[in-house]
Amino acid sequence: MSALKLVAYSALALFIALTFFPFIFMLMTSLKSIFQFYHHFWTPTWPFHFQNYTEVFPVIARYIVNSIFVTFLSVLGIVFLGALSGFIFARFSFPGKKLLFYAVIMLMMVPWILTLIPSFIVVKRLNLLNTYWVMILPYISGGQVLAIYIFHSFFKTLPEELFESARMDGAGYFQQFWYIGAAMSRPVIGLVAIISSLAVWNNFIWPLVTTTDDRISVLTVGVMRFSTSYSFGSIKHGELFAGYTIASIPLLIIFLLATKQFMRGITSGALKG
C-alpha cells in the first residue's frame, strides 16, 4: 500500500470515528452510575448499569407513543395530499397552472422561522393549542411544498400512453391517480415518507411553543422537560443519556429499514427537474 493511500485511509477512518463518537459516547454514558460518570468521563466502565433504562423508560414511553401518533398521521397526510397535488400539476392542464405551481415552489425560499408567529396566531384563533392537531395540521401543510415538487417531477416522467389506455377503459381521474400514478410511485412515496418522518420526528420548536400539556408532548419536548426536571447537582446523567438513547432508536430503525427505499426513490426520477 502506497503512502498516499495509507494517509487517505487513515483520514477516512478518523472521519468515521469522529462521526460515530457522539453516539458511542451517549451509549457509553447511559450505562454509567453517577460515580462512574464523574470519575471515568471519557472511558467505558464496568459494571454496566442497565437499570438506567428500566428507570427512564416508563417516563418517556408516553412521549414515544405521542411522537409515533403525530408522525404517522402527519406523514400520511403529507404523502397523500402531496401525491394528489403533484399528479394534478403534472398530468392536467388548466388556466394559471404554471403560475400556481411556481408560487408553491417559491415557498421553499421562505425560512420556516418567519412563519412561526403567524402560524401560532392562526392555530390559537382556531383553538388548537394543546391538542394533537396543532402539530399534525401544520406539519401536513408545511410538508406539501417539497412533496408536491418531488411527486410532480416523478409524474412528469410517466408516459402519456398509460393514462390514455386507462381512459379508454373507462377509468376516472382518481382511478388513474390511484391505480397508475400511486402504484408506480412507491419508491417516491417511500422517499417523501422518510424525509417527512425525519422532519416531523425531530421538530422541537413548534411543539414546544404550542403544547404545554405533558400528556400530549412529543419525544423531543418530553426529553427536554425530563432533563430539566432535575435540580442542579442531582442530575442523574446515566438516566438522561439512557433517555436520549431510547429517543434515537426509532430514527435508527427508520434509517436501517428505509435506506434502500430512499435510494430507489432518488434514482427513480423523483428529484429530476
SS3 236: coil
The confidence score (pLDDT) of residue 132 equals 94
Contact 184, 159 (CB under 8 A): no
pLDDT of res. 19:
85
Give the closest residue to 197 by CA, choosing from 85, 113, 95, 74: 74
Task: Tell me the C-alpha to C-alpha distance, in Å, between residue 74 and each of 17, 86, 108, 196, 229.
Answer: 35, 18, 19, 8, 29
67, 198 Cβ separation under 8 angstroms: no
Count how many residues are written for the chain.
273
Q: Cell digits for 243?
A: 433517555
pLDDT of residue 52: 85
Q: What is the DSSP letter of 110?
A: S
pLDDT (tens digit per residue) in 174-221: 888 888 888 888 888 888 888 898 899 989 899 999 998 888 999 888
Q: Output the pTM of the full model.
A: 0.82
> Residue 266: what pLDDT?
58
Answer for the pair 189, 79: CB distance below 8 angstroms, yes or no. yes
List, for the chain, all residue ranges whose pLDDT scores fall below the cut of 70: 1, 229-235, 258-259, 261-273
The domain 53-270 belongs to what CATH superfamily?
MetI-like (1.10.3720.10)
User: Would you state the cell numbers that stand for residue 2, as one nine-digit string?
Assistant: 502506497
- H-type alpha helices, the chain: 3-29, 34-39, 51-91, 97-106, 116-125, 133-142, 144-155, 160-168, 173-176, 183-184, 186-202, 205-210, 219-227, 237-265
User: CA distances (Å), 225 to each of 63, 138, 229, 240, 243, in order?
Assistant: 11, 23, 6, 11, 11
Q: What is the pLDDT of residue 273?
A: 47
Q: What is the CB-side half-sphere exposure of residue 200 using CA atoms within 13 A?
A: 34
Which of 139, 140, 132, 134 lies closest to 122, judged by CA?
134
Q: pLDDT at position 232, please? A: 47
- Position 231 scores a pLDDT of 47
C-alpha cell at 103: 408560487
- Please report the pLDDT score of residue 1 as a whole number: 60
Residue 140 is predicted with a pLDDT of: 94
Tell me the chain's radius of gyration from C-alpha atoms: 23
Q: Is 269 in contact with 153 (CB distance < 8 Å)?
A: yes
Q: Domain segments of the chain: what residues?
A: 53-270
By C-alpha distance, which of 257, 230, 255 is closest to 241?
A: 230
